[in-house]
Amino acid sequence: MESVGYYILGVIVTIIVAFMVGMTYMGLSRKITARVQNRKGPPFYQNFIDAFKLASKETAIHHGFMHHAGPAFLMVASIMSVLIIPVLNDGKWFPNLNFDGDLIFLLYIMVFGPLGMALGAGQTGNPNSAIGVTRGLSQMVGFEIPWVMALVALMMQYQTTSLVDLMAVQQTTGWLMFSSPFAFLAAVLAMLGMFRYSPFDIVGAPTELASGPVSENGGKYLFTMMSSGSIFAFAKLTLYVDLFMGGADNLIELLIKTFTIYLIPMLYGMVSPRYRTEQAIRYFWGWPLFFGFLALVHAMVF
Partner 1 sequence: METILTIFIIFIAGATGTYFLGKLSGILRSVIFITTLLVTSWLFFTAVSPDVIIEFEIMGILMSWGLTPLAYVFAIIVFGLAIIIGIYAIKAMEGQRSLNFFFANFLLSVMAMFGILISNDLISFFIFWEIMSWSSYFMVVLNHKDVQRSGITYIIFCVIGAYAMMMAIMIIYSYSGSVMIGDFISNFHAFSLGMKWLLPILLLIGFASKAALMPLHVWAPGAYSNSPMSYTALFSGALSKMGVYGMVIVMIMIVQQIPDGYWIKEVIAWLGGITSAIGTLWAIKQDDAKRMLAYSSVAQLGYIIVGVAIGTPLAMMSGLFLAVMHGIFKSTLFMVVGAIERQTGTSNFTEVTGLIRKMPWTFLAALMSIIALAGIPPLGGFIGKWMLYESLMGSNHYLLIIVIFFSSTAAFLYCYKFLFGFFLGQEEKEWSHVKEAPAMMVVPMIIMAILTFVLGVFPGLILKPINDGMQFLGYVSTDNRFWEMSTIFNDWGNQVVMEPIVYTIFAIFLFFLIFLTLKGYKNTRYVTTKDISSSGEIPREDENLTFITGFMQPFFRAVAPVMKRQIDKYYTSFGKGLEALFDFTRRIYTGNGQTYALYFVIFVILLLMFRDSLF
Partner 2 sequence: MINDKNSQKIADFIKNWARKHSIWVLAYGTGCGAIEIPPTMTSRYDAERLGVRGAATPRQADVLLITGYLTTKTLKRVIRVYEQMQDPKYVIGFGSCTINGGMYYDSYNTIKVLDKYLPVDVYINGCMPRPEAVLAGFGKLQQLIAEGKANGAQKYKDDHEYYRGNLRKIIGNKYEMPLYNW
Footprint of partner 2 on this chain (CB under 8 A)? 30, 34, 37-43, 46, 49-50, 52-53, 56-61, 204, 206, 210-211, 214-219, 222
| Under rule CB under 8 A, residue 11 binds partner 1 | yes
Q: Which does 272 bind (CB under 5 to 8 A by kind): partner 2, partner 1, none?
A: none
Short-list 146, 225, 223, 233, CA closest to 186: 146
Q: Which of residues 258-297 bind partner 1 (CB under 8 A)?
A: 276-278, 281-282, 285, 292, 296
Q: In whole angstroms, how close is the CB of 231 to partner 1 at the nearest point?
A: 11
CB 27 within 8 Å of CB 48: yes
Question: Smallest distance from the beta carbon of 56 to partner 1, in angstroms?
Answer: 9
Contacts of 299 (CB under 8 A, 6+ apart): 153, 154, 156, 157, 180, 183
Residue 59 or 172: which CB sits closer to partner 2?
59
Which CB atom, from 27 or from 122, has the smaller least distance to partner 1?
122
- Choosing from 28, 152, 241, 261, the residue that interacts with partner 1 (CB under 8 A) is 152
Distances from the Cα of 56 to the Cα of 23, 47, 161, 219, 240, angstroms: 17, 14, 43, 7, 34
d(CA 204, CA 131): 10
d(CA 250, CA 74): 28
For residue 92, count other CB atoms closer than 10 A to its CB: 14
Q: Which stretch binds partner 1 (CB under 8 A): 18-26, 187-195, 218-226, 236-244?
A: 218-226
**Is position 54 an interface residue for partner 1 (rule: CB under 8 A)?**
no
